[in-house]
Structure formats: structure tokens, C-alpha cells
Amino acid sequence: MNNPNRPIGVFDSGVGGLTVLKTLQAQFPNEDFIYLADHAYCPYGIKSASQVAHRVSEVGQQMIERGVKFIIIACNTATANAAELMKTSPVPVIGVIEPTAKKAFEVSKDKKIALLATDLTVKMGSYQHLLRDATVHALGCSVFVPLAEGIDRDSSDTAAKVANHLQSLKEFEFDTIIYGCTHFGLLDQAIQKALPGKIVVECGEPTASAVAEILTCSKLSQEMQTLGTTTLYTTGSPKVFKDQITWYKGSFLGPYQW
């Protein structure tokens, strides 16, 4: 029997999923979270679909063994390759793509949307399929992932690299941009400077709404009314992880070695 008082497991290849975790912590303050940054396998977005699918199943299994009641895949690339985990997991698993695509379709007035995602997410085509009634300009932006993982995210050099990569989108018309990689919220300033005046859709808020529905329907909401805890883990170096997330203001324990 799944126990509502167990923690929720959240994972990403690195720091990007913290943009989702932040929203989850704010919306579900009584829940306990364990967050895994899978740095040993980061980046996911330039690997093959089978490599990522294998790793997603492994991480999911490890989370289940640690007793989570629910798995949130705070990574688009992992979500696009999670069919096996979703099929076999004894606890509910939710990814970020469906809620985010749905939200983008709702908010776009022209139904013309730019998708910024990792090369593998673009290749998998999940967003393009879900948004088949809109015009989607998809751009593989795996080059942004090391910039978001780095500590000089806010430098002019990073802004110039981002602007240069987004140049090719300038010839298209669109009113909405999807950050189809959870790392890209960390480059928000640089992206919005390069592509000003657009509606931006990130994964955190739409995913949190979908999580709320599942927690209620499956009677898995935390019963304790006390403030929950969040514990961060990495498959890489906890020291490096700590230095990478000085911007992360949410309260948490760790980071610890997974």
C-alpha cells in the first residue's frame, strides 16, 4: 500500500530540475521531497534515446527502493524517454512535457510557438506531437545546458552565446516560447533579451498543477500538517553541486552523495 506520508522523488540530470522543485515546494509545503541531480550522467540531451531510457529506469528504480510515494521527472529529455519506467513503476510517475505543452497551447494567442529544448527532446518529437494543432518551431539547444550548469550563467559571455544560438529563430513568427528543458529557466534573462516580448512557458507551474490533481485523486497528499523537508542528492560531487546552486533560495538538506 502506497503511504501518503512518504517523500516525493524528483529528478533531473543536474540543477535544471530545481526550477521545478522550487514551485513544488511552494505549492506543497507539507510534502517531503528528495531531489536527485544525476550529474554523473549529465547531460542527457546529447545521448541516445536508449541510453537515456535505460538511465531513467535505473534512477526511477533507485527512487522506489528509497521509498518514494510518487516520482516527478523534472527533466524533459528524461520524460520523453520514460515509457518503460511509467509502465513498470509501482508508484505514480509524472513528467513535465504534457502539462507544459498543454499550458503553452492555452496561452499562445496565435498558436505559433517556439520550442527550445535539448537536441534529444526535439528529436523525440513529443512536444511537436502534442502541439500538432499549432505551428511549432523547434530548436535544439543542448549547448545551453553547460551554460546553465556553470557558475557564470549571468555573464555577458553567456548572454552572447545564447543570443547567437537563438539567431536562427528570428526569421519565424511566434508569440510563445516553451522552455522545453528545465535548465533554461536559469538562462531566462539571456533568452528574453535575445527574444523579447514573448510569452514564456516554463515547466514548473503546469507540472505542479498536474501533480496536485494526482495527489488528490490517488489520495497521496501528505497527512501531516507540519512543514516538509527537502533533501538534495547528486550522483556527482556534493561540493561542486553546492557551489552551483548559490542562487537556489529554497530550504533544503544536503547536498549529499546519492
User: Which residues does the annotation mark as catalytic?
Assistant: 75, 181
Q: Which residues contact 227 (CB under 8 A, 6 or more apart)?
A: 29, 30
Question: Does residue 117 contact residue 180 with C-beta atoms inside 8 Å?
Answer: yes
- Of residues 88 through 147, those in contact with ligand DGL by CB under 6 A are 118, 121, 142, 145
The C-alpha angle with vertex 107 and arms to 102 and 110, in degrees rounded to 5, equals 110
Bond before 43 cis per omega within 30 degrees: yes
Candidates 7, 9, 16, 140: give the one binding ligand DGL (CB under 6 A).
16
Binding segment (CB under 6 A) for ligand DGL, from list 8-16, 187-195, 211-219, 237-245 = 8-16
Compute φ and ψ for 171, nearest 5 degrees.
-80, -10
Q: Which is nearer to ligand DGL, 7 or 180 (CB)?
A: 180
Q: How far is the CB of 225 from ligand DGL (least distance, A)?
A: 33
Q: Which is nearer to ligand DGL, 44 or 258 (CB)?
A: 44
Compute φ and ψ for 44, nearest 5 degrees.
-80, -35
Q: How far is the CB of 223 from ligand DGL (least distance, A)?
A: 31
Bond before 196 cis per omega within 30 degrees: no
Residue located via cell numbers 555573464: 155
Of 180, 104, 98, 103, nearest in space to 138 by CA: 180
Candidates 183, 201, 245, 258: give the one binding ligand DGL (CB under 6 A).
183
First to last CA, the chain: 26
Residue nearest ligand DGL (C-beta atom) = 45
How many residues bind ligand DGL (CB under 6 A)? The answer is 17
Candidates 75, 122, 195, 245: give the one binding ligand DGL (CB under 6 A).
75
Alpha carbon 1 to its chain centroid, in Å, reads 28
Q: How far is the CB of 142 from ligand DGL (least distance, A)?
A: 6
Build a one-symbol-per-residue string for 153-182: x at contacts with ligand DGL by CB under 6 A, - elsewhere.
----------------------------xx
Candidates 12, 31, 32, 202: give the one binding ligand DGL (CB under 6 A).
12
- Of residues 19 through 48, those in contact with ligand DGL by CB under 6 A are 42-45
Residue located via cell numbers 519506467: 85
Of 118, 145, 123, nearest in space to 37 by CA: 145
Question: Which residues bind to ligand DGL, rule: CB under 6 A?
Answer: 12-13, 16, 42-45, 75-77, 118, 121, 142, 145, 181-183
